[in-house]
A and B are shown apart, each in its own frame.
Chain A
Amino acid sequence: MRGKRRGLRFVLGALAVVGLLISGYLTWVHYAGVAPVCVGGSGGCETVQASSYATILGVPVAVLGLVGYSGLLLAALLRGEAGVYLGLLVALVGTLFSAYLTYLELFVIHAICEWCVASAALMVGALICSAFEAWRLARAP
């Protein structure tokens, strides 16, 4: 049981590190004023990054990603219940907000950024890990 829990925390930590790399890259792209490299050569990432939805109150969405993935990494490193609860909170906020961003890409901006899609998938993965851990915690006697 303890081994499984450690395994889940390891997966959560790995997802957080990949997420930090993606959001770190997009943060750098934002402040350097350069176009993000888009998989497949489409201009979707540039369009999304240049849209008015790329910042919230002047804070780039990529920076919010950095904060979120740092929270997930901390949750993976924390032992005990605190880590489980923190992981669930961050992953749930991240997944809900990623769903909103994906809606914007599909129906408002009409452009898809592969980096954002990858981040949304990571958040869903993190939510599955955290929810599973939380479910085990709730079932524990």
Chain B
Amino acid sequence: MSARRKSPSSQQSALLRSPRILLALIVAVAILVAALMVVLSQLGSAGGSSASSEDVGKLYSGIPQNGTTLGKSTAPVTIYLYEDFQCPVCAQFSRKTFPEVVDRSVRGGEVKVVSEPLTFIGSDSVPAARAALAAGEQDRYWPYAQLLFENQGEENSGYVTDEFLKSQAENTPGLDVGEWSSDLKGSSITKQLQAAQSKAQSAGVNATPTLIFSGPGGQTKLVGLYDYEQISQAIAQVE
């Protein structure tokens, strides 16, 4: 009887049949898969939405801004956007739908948007809304508001600190931070904030985001998160 040598392929399959080798392989594959998922998650987050000051500058470039109004004053349709800077669905709307509304409906002069900042979620909503309104004094409300949504923290966790607000101001293109800081304390901001709350009350707004479309064809209302197609249907309804 002659001794048989194992062929390389049978040696390989013998190795794979060893539970220890297989377990080590599984651990290596699991680490690789998890690492790939983490990388994809980070890439998606960086490319997708964390708006830099350059991004917010680009979105609103060439579009007239007047206080909390975005778009040409002659636009036939006005969208009154009731939002709370602490509201996660508002942040989602700001990130997913709003850029398309700006590019496809506001830029061409068909629509103007008026933001009505509400403060019903809690104490952190007030300084956030005041800070955005103070940016509005320099007609930089919209980019500032977008940065607030992009950097939103957990509701009423105390994340809206003076440093947080100042850092958004520093990242807002074209905003004079010193002027913004002094406007922030002014009584004009308090009045604008109160006006938005009473407007919401008389319009029966009790959730955010609420969009009221107003135009020659009448009025319609959407509450919650909608995509651009649904927004454009509502615009067509009131045109």
Please list the residues of chain A having a beta carbon within 8 angstroms of any beta carbon in chain B.
33-35, 42-44, 46-47, 49-50, 52-53, 55-57, 64, 81, 85, 88-89, 92-93, 96-97, 100, 109-112, 134, 137-138, 140
Contacts and interface: CB of A to CB of B under 8 A. Distances in A.
A97 B37 contact: yes
A111 B155 CA distance: 8
Interface residues of B, number: 37
Ordered nearest first, which 4 A-B pairs have the shortest CB separation?
A96-B34, A111-B154, A43-B155, A92-B30
B14 interface: no
B41 A53 contact: yes
A50 B89 contact: yes
Q: Name the prevailing secondary structure of the A interface residues.
A: helix
A92 B26 contact: yes
16 contacts: A50-B91, A52-B44, A53-B41, A53-B44, A56-B40, A56-B44, A57-B44, A85-B22, A89-B29, A93-B30, A93-B34, A93-B37, A97-B34, A109-B154, A138-B19, A140-B19
A96 B44 contact: no
Contacts of A89: 26, 29-30
B63 interface: no
B153 A110 contact: yes
B66 interface: no
A64 B40 CA distance: 13
Given A44-B154, A56-B44, A96 B23 contact: no
Interface stretch (B45-53, B71-79, B165-173, B174-182): B45-53
